[in-house]
Structure 1
């Protein structure tokens, strides 16, 4: 069975194409076609010709910085002013000048350049400047481990790296291990410029100097990219293995952009808050789509979004309050943290306010559509909370991992915005399926995107078949013009994951899906997450984790079971404030040591009981719920190797790191039996 967007399955096994999406979006797709905008530089030219002096990219003015050390940790606090905006004409001029500046520095069409910097306007401009010069952009997450960064740079044999003032010291420590690199372009800090750095023979060039070189360059010559040329070599975050370089062409990314245009009900006057890594395909594709939609992009960071964010100086407003975005993107982990943060603030105000908030939230979650009562609750309770994200948010796009129905419902009720869950992968240019904005349901990822075909292939070992009733199930295979050419310098892995059939290129996702009778996709499992217990029951570890981590006590969670095990066990990183509160109820003082609490069997059992009750309440089966847990007092970061740069769990690494704890849990379970 092959599934296409909209309608019902026809006799040939294809789903009849429907009109799902916004009419204006289909009109924009036609405009791009008429403008012959088939590459990303042509997309920018189309947007500039159409939008001209409208605001395009915004950056907040940095006024002051404070650095201090507390409890042995280095802290930085920033004071910001208003946003300063570049128009579309400004951005186009900078892109042209950066392209010419690269030429002045010896870069030629067909070369490659690495982008190793945080999300910001200069990243976006530099990348488009490279692409205009037909230089492929190698994107590298800033929070990858040093060894992985070195491997990405050396594997692609880049001689130029674009980085930022903040990351330059780290890059200089590892650059001796990258013999091909001869020049580093540094995006300046607003207050300190490039700063002082020991170059050790490497040419250090400020970003603005490259622009100046381009402005004065008179003999510029380049070959414009074709739609089938490689635009991006995007390194995955590596949840199951070493990061792989996914080769994405201009046409791959343009199809993902078209899909976004059709789905997003956005136009002039809308504002997008950009803070996710541009090294992630979802964020890059989204920001490029904003160009065509005439949506202003205001840049932020995870450390400065709200007024209580870690790097915001006291008395300074968070980025969201200043930018007042109408649309944002997020991954489920961000939404879960926001909800837990809001709940904690309310609970700290006392039992009565917490109870009122809880009941009001439950009421709003039961509403199918806005009502007079829900508007009253907004005015009394929720509008104050909405202000933390600017008070204007009406559309949120979520991807990167499954979003639990509980989180979906709560966030939508609190912030009063539509939530469109999407499904995709770097290998599909982030485009596979996405929810329609007027779909109130949760727990699914919508129908296939524009141009996408999806097959469900039988996976007999896991018990998932396309002939299953009432709905077909199987491994999700995505096909269409958005599918990558394959992995950089990895022919065996490319052959294993990609194939051509009937003139269509396909990618095997490794995820298991189910289509219901309305044509929307439910991602129900992942092949590598499915474990068969000794009683014959299959357990989806990923599904267990996405369900349990909605509990306010859990910061991070990894469940584990070996094939033939008697039960599931879990490694839990607790939320410190919640754990301390639980400790007080068990006789500990308010300033108890977190490590001591994590080692206390009485505390561990109390957390386990909370998790088990939560899992049962959320509909997990008897065999899904962990029978034992281990509490870890250390947060999991990409640097530790326990989560990816996109904050997905690296199950194998967690298992190896906590192997002795896992063995101890199973030994205790066997003794109990």
Structure 2
């Protein structure tokens, strides 16, 4: 039975019920707060003193790397060995060497250093080492477009960039546009070192991460200043869904708030292992890893390219990282979960109609009221779902999901397949990714939980969209987040700051632009976004984001963007369809079975079939007539951060997509057009 998780005070603000939360986590927060340990380096040092000889960070050994040519394209494959582990003492020793090393390069307190590298153990130790010397770390997604990376480097005027062997060639090409850069530190590859540096400008010094730590061995530590809680720890460049990436300034106190939220909500046990693969360039992952290290948990580092046995860089015969690390805790974003579901269901379908039917019915049963308990559910696990669980190591018991709304279908299917708890949360970079989170005991889908400890939520009526705090049975409105989680602001963007951030009653607040609704239990539901709401010709409002998230739950959709014109009465859509689904349709069309994916997407009968499937699916999911697309264009072009059609966090960039497909959208709305294009 669900109990009330948050209540609304006389000031109209929603706060978490104080008695709710994980007791051991709340005890840790009290200890850290009472001891004034509010910075990231301070938290790690605290944990090292308790957990010194416990395995802290693990990295897989690369045994062999080779390249395969498929359809003229070059693909990397790796044979990987076991995880090699460093203890908490080992990690802290590296942190101290980094803090001394960056000081020897001439960097001093309040200076900035940029990190442009994929998630790995060295990323974290370097970051904390820099923070220990009171530097500000500028984080840049590795899949940002070059223009976005250059913008972040130039705007923050850094003179030192940290990158990796894989990204060094790309970094060196950008240096001519980053005139102030004087040092490049490179995380080396296990087999190939840091790589070729011949193209580096003469004015730039290139050194390995090992050389940086070596410099620290002879550096005196007495002049290194420790950071204060209100110092800017991170300038985190957002992925830029609407334009140029913005640098969000996050203080140590902001990130401490995220850490407190995690440890208060997550039920951690001795021997737990976390598999890290999401970008450390985002505060969600940085806060999560720091929180877990505060609790003495082991972190095994991975990558989306090596996560499972079927990941693209895993050599045949090599186990994916999840099966080797056997994690108990995992973070994810909805897109990753949808890919896992598609991978599992596709694999089952390949085994024949009978097995596919058995799997489908078993999954439907486990998603029922009594599906996750009892003898029948345990039998289904033993016969069917334990094989699915093995894909992620077989020990997974807790999954935390953020980054985008999670559909009811995905929520229920993941819980049924893997038998783990699934906690969703809500929080933008500007609120340290920790505004709300779901409690473990609350299994209801399609909400993001109650406000976290230290976070306050209020709703503000948006009359134009028809959302009011006086709405019955539940109040609705724009979500405004307040508390220590709210960032200092955007870097060098005073006008943007004035619109989004404000101070009131001694508290800092952020206007999210998202529309929320509180239910009877004090849990928040994200129901709309101001920028996604379009009024059609006859006055009906359509939430483009809601339609997209609904239609994306169909297995045929790899990606999709819905468009609406206020002078029209319906929506239209551009969809990147699944290759396997297109192949299935082509088999049903005379003389079309040999067509390529590209030609299949352009075939009128294929477009009609996909549109019909999406329309049927939309009606089943309770979309109304005006929301369901009346016309469709199938794009064979993948949407990637490199071509600028999705952000580094893989969210669609609506403006860029509208420009990319302007002609196709116009044709779908043309008076003499047919229903499909």
TM-score by length of 2: 0.97
1:488 offset after TM fit, Å?
Answer: 0.3
Give the alignment of 1:492-641 within 5 angstroms. Answer: 492-641=495-644
Task: Give me the CA root mean square deviation.
Answer: 1.4
Partner of residue 303, structure 2: 301
Give the alignment of 1:400-439 within 5 angstroms. Answer: 400-439=403-442
Structure 1 contact 100–220 (Cα < 8 Å) conserved: no
Whether 2:44 is the aligned partner of 1:9: answer no
Whether 2:164 is the aligned partner of 1:161: answer no
1:574 offset after TM fit, Å?
Answer: 0.3
Structure 2: distance between partners of 1:367 and 1:168 = 52
Partner of residue 271, structure 1: 273
Moved more, 586-595 or 390-399: 586-595
Distance 1:148 1:318, change over 3 A: same
Partner of residue 252, structure 2: 250
1:381 offset after TM fit, Å?
Answer: 0.3
TM-score by length of 1: 0.98
Give the alignment of 1:97-496 within 5 angstroms. Answer: 97-198=97-198, 199-201=200-202, 202-218=204-220, 221-368=223-370, 369-496=372-499
Distance 1:422 1:15, change over 3 A: closer
2:656 to 653, 661, 664: 653
| Uncovered stretches (5+) of structure 1, i.e. residues with no partner | none
Whether 2:663 is the aligned partner of 1:664: answer no
Partner of residue 54, structure 1: 54
Structure 2 contact 560–576 (Cα < 8 Å) conserved: yes
Structure 1 contact 118–277 (Cα < 8 Å) conserved: yes
Distance 1:669 1:491, change over 3 A: farther
Structure 2: distance between partners of 1:144 and 1:220 = 38
Specify the SS of the correspondent of 1:640: coil
The C-alpha deviation readout for 1:600-638, integer Å capped at 9, x for no partner, is 111101000000111111111111111111000011000
| Uncovered stretches (5+) of structure 2, i.e. residues with no partner | none
Structure 1: distance between partners of 2:268 and 2:337 = 22
The C-alpha deviation readout for 1:521-553, integer Å capped at 9, x for no partner, is 000000000011112111111011111101111
Distance 1:649 1:246, change over 3 A: same
Specify the SS of the correspondent of 2:515: strand
Structure 1 contact 259–449 (Cα < 8 Å) conserved: yes
The C-alpha deviation readout for 1:209-242, integer Å capped at 9, x for no partner, is 1111112223652211110000000000011121
Distance 1:535 1:669, change over 3 A: farther
Structure 2 contact 631–675 (Cα < 8 Å) conserved: no
Structure 1 contact 103–220 (Cα < 8 Å) conserved: no
The C-alpha deviation readout for 1:261-301, integer Å capped at 9, x for no partner, is 00000132101100011111111111111111211110000
Structure 2: distance between partners of 1:211 and 1:607 = 56
Structure 2: distance between partners of 1:447 and 1:204 = 47
Specify the SS of the correspondent of 1:18: coil
1:7 offset after TM fit, Å?
Answer: 4.3
Structure 1: distance between partners of 2:68 and 2:412 = 40
Specify the SS of the correspondent of 1:261: helix
Structure 1: distance between partners of 2:441 and 2:479 = 25
Structure 1 contact 539–623 (Cα < 8 Å) conserved: yes
Distance 1:11 1:185, change over 3 A: closer
Specify the SS of the correspondent of 2:451: coil
Distance 1:8 1:302, change over 3 A: same
Distance 1:294 1:591, change over 3 A: farther
